[in-house]
């Protein structure tokens, strides 16, 4: 039987390149993206067995709908790559009253892990090295209190990363593994802006690595067997700063459970 992989944010950038690599490795790939036209076009552009699945990660209700769709399609998910990410330019609250990047970067993977854990084999969380600049503050980060584009993005990535070791412990007896990876500074559309700042960023991005290069360590971890680890590209490294705070990790986990009603 063909192994199945799910990749969120698979319509462009690193996610699209990860889909290409996994399909080339013989996986049946479900490419998850919010925009149907872009998602179908992205899936059709790839060789191999790649199918578009609609998935909006901004609200808890839409995440639950995606989980139900995946459960209907997949008796088993050998590899789930949480790649979708949002770098906000302004504070936007979702229909749940949560800051949008917190919902997409942190709560959506957390809830999907819970809703699908009886089907999962291997989880790869695409992270970001900027987590070291973040502060995870229960009750504040969730609503974007003190919003700033850079800090808020770092905060949400830290929240997400804090839960990875806890998922590893939760799943150890079930044989499910999870690792996180910072794929490098990659030339994608993440964080694109308008105006002068946007033009300067586009110039800077010309020197950054390609999505295909960023996809390499992600796809490599899809074939990995370890759990609870963090990688800077292809190198396992220890977590730094607040990401090592076990008490904070438990508080972030408890808050996510309360916000998502996941147990």
User: Which residues are the active-site residues?
Assistant: 153
Cβ proximity of 218 and 126 under 8 Å:
yes
How many angstroms separate the CA atoms of 263 and 58, rounded?
20
Return the ∠ at Cα 116 (arms to 67 and 171), rounded to 5°: 155
Cβ proximity of 9 and 30 under 8 Å:
no
Task: Give the residue among 12, 92, 10, 7 at the shortest CA–CA distance from 58.
Answer: 92
For 95, other C-beta atoms within 10 Å of its C-beta total 11
How many angstroms separate the CA atoms of 218 and 12, rounded?
15
Task: Give the length of the chain.
Answer: 263
25 is written with which tokens?
């490795």
Task: Give residue for tokens 């919010």.
Answer: 34
């Amino acid at each position: 039987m063909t192994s199945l992989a799910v990749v969120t944010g698979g319509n462009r950038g690193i996610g699209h390149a990860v889909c290409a690599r996994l399909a080339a490795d013989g996986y049946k790939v479900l490419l998850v993206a919010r925009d149907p036209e872009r998602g179908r076009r992205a899936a059709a552009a790839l060789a191999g067995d790649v199918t578009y699945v609609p998935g909006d990660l901004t609200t808890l209700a839409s995440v639950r709908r995606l989980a139900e769709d995946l459960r209907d399609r997949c008796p088993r998910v050998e590899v789930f790559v949480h790649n979708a990410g949002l770098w906000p330019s302004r504070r936007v609250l979702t229909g749940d009253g949560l800051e949008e990047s917190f919902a997409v970067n942190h709560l959506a993977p957390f809830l999907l892990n819970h809703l699908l854990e009886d089907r999962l084999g291997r989880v790869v969380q695409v992270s970001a090295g900027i987590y070291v600049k973040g502060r995870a503050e229960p009750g504040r980060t969730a609503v974007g209190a003190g919003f700033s584009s850079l800090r808020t993005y770092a905060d949400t990535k830290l929240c997400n990363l804090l839960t990875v070791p806890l998922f590893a412990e939760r799943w150890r007896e079930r044989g499910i593994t999870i690792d996180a990876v910072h794929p490098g500074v990659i030339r994608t559309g993440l964080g694109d802006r308008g105006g002068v700042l946007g033009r300067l960023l586009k110039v800077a991005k010309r020197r950054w690595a390609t999505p295909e290069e960023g996809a390499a360590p992600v796809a490599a971890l899809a074939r990995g067997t370890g759990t609870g680890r963090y990688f800077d590209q292809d190198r396992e490294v220890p977590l730094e700063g607040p990401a090592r705070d076990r008490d904070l990790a438990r508080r972030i986990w408890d808050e996510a459970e309360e916000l998502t009603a996941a147990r």
